[in-house]
Amino acid sequence: MIAIDWGTSSFRAYRLAPDGMVLDRRSAPLGILAVKDGRFSEALESQIRDWLDTGERPVVMSGMIGSRQGWKEAPYAHCPAGLAEIATAMVRVDWDRGSAWIAPGLTCRDQSGIADVMRGEEVQILGALDALAEGAAWICLPGTHSKWARVEGRRIMHFSTYMTGEVFAVMKAHSILGRMMTEAPFDVEAFDAGLLRARDDGGLLHHLFGVRTRGLFGDLTSERSGSYLSGVLIGHELRSVPVQSGVVYVLGAQDLSQLYVHALRTQGYEPRLLNPDAVVTGLSHLAARLEK
């Protein structure tokens, strides 16, 4: 089969053996925003023509490719959802090389009735289920929009999203805080100071201003203030999530996941790193369902 993880800014393709082993892999900076005029089939073919020519099927995709801005909208499945519910909600697209399948995103509503959404992460979680402890688990998927999901009995019960990564990027690039930062390697001491600050009273909007004042008074150099800001934001995320201790599985890109593991450990959690390739396993599980 062919597994495609197709997001906003990146495209990753995997050719898998029937047992799920990765035979070949490719990636390109060909996220859905880089595909013009809806030419998704051409984009896909340009990347994996040789695999298709050998007859490899099915093609199963997840991520923003199933959003309104993608190839075809795959409506969100609703929590609680496991492999069965997500497989059932897959959407087929037909093109001149046959058919391909797109996984739906997932949605849930909180106590106030406000919706949350994920698209792509639900397949990563499906792929990680076998690595979780029996029963119930918390999974943190760090990123531009960090997700925290609750899994019980191999189903995603509910989740919530935090704009941690995007607020960091936007404040660094466009606010007065960024103007006093210089590019520098990550500084763990400054990051930890930011985590600690987030435990104080005063709220995030106040703690953000503190990045500036600590700079003004020489408490924080321009090289370290980016790491401090990152600590403040991740610290506020941890303070806001519904779980404050115990085992948390971390699933995401390597560097960011390492940062979260460190943050979780200093805040009293027991972090456990999951294989960042879980999406491949998740897509292979979905492909297996198609054949039934």
CB of 48 to its own copies, least distance (A): 29
Distance separating alpha carbons of residues 213 and 225, to the nearest angstrom: 11
First to last CA, the chain: 15
Tell me whether residue 3 or residue 102 sits nearer to its own copies (CB atom).
102
Contacting its own copies within 123-152 (CB under 8 A):
145-146
Give the distance, in angstroms, between the CA of residue 42 and the centroid of all CA atoms in the same chain. Answer: 26
Binding status of residue 228 toward its own copies by CB under 8 A = no
Binding status of residue 221 toward its own copies by CB under 8 A = no
Distance separating alpha carbons of residues 233 and 122, to the nearest angstrom: 24
Contacting its own copies within 87-126 (CB under 8 A):
110-112, 114-117
Helix (H) or strand (E) holding 228: helix 225-240
Nearest residue to 155 via CA among 103, 78, 74, 244: 78
Tell me whether residue 135 or residue 218 sits nearer to its own copies (CB atom).
218
CB of 120 to its own copies, least distance (A): 15
Tell me whether residue 54 or residue 205 sits nearer to its own copies (CB atom).
205
Whether 279 contacts 3, CB under 8 Å: yes
Task: Give the interface size with its own copies as a residue count (CB under 8 A).
Answer: 44
CB of 52 to its own copies, least distance (A): 33
Q: Binder to its own copies among 49, 92, 239, 265 (CB under 8 A)?
A: 239
Binding status of residue 182 toward its own copies by CB under 8 A = no
- Looking at the DSSP bridge assignments, the partners of residue 101 are 60, 92
Tell me whether residue 26 or residue 174 sits nearer to its own copies (CB atom).
174
Q: Binder to its own copies among 45, 73, 85, 166 (CB under 8 A)?
A: 166
Binding status of residue 173 toward its own copies by CB under 8 A = yes
By CB neighbour count within 10 A (0-12 exposed, 13-18 middle, 19+ buried), where does 158 fall?
A: middle
Distance separating alpha carbons of residues 182 and 54, to the nearest angstrom: 50
Tell me whether residue 122 or residue 283 sits nearer to its own copies (CB atom).
122
Distance separating alpha carbons of residues 273 and 276, to the nearest angstrom: 9
226-174-116 Cα angle (round to 5) = 85
User: Which DSSP string corresponds to 166-178?
Assistant: HHHHHHHHHSHHH
Q: Binder to its own copies among 236, 251, 278, 286 (CB under 8 A)?
A: 236
Instruction: Note the residues at the interface with its own copies (CB under 8 A).
Output: 110-112, 114-117, 145-146, 160-164, 166-167, 170-171, 173-176, 197, 200-206, 208-210, 213-214, 216-217, 219, 233, 236-237, 239-240, 242
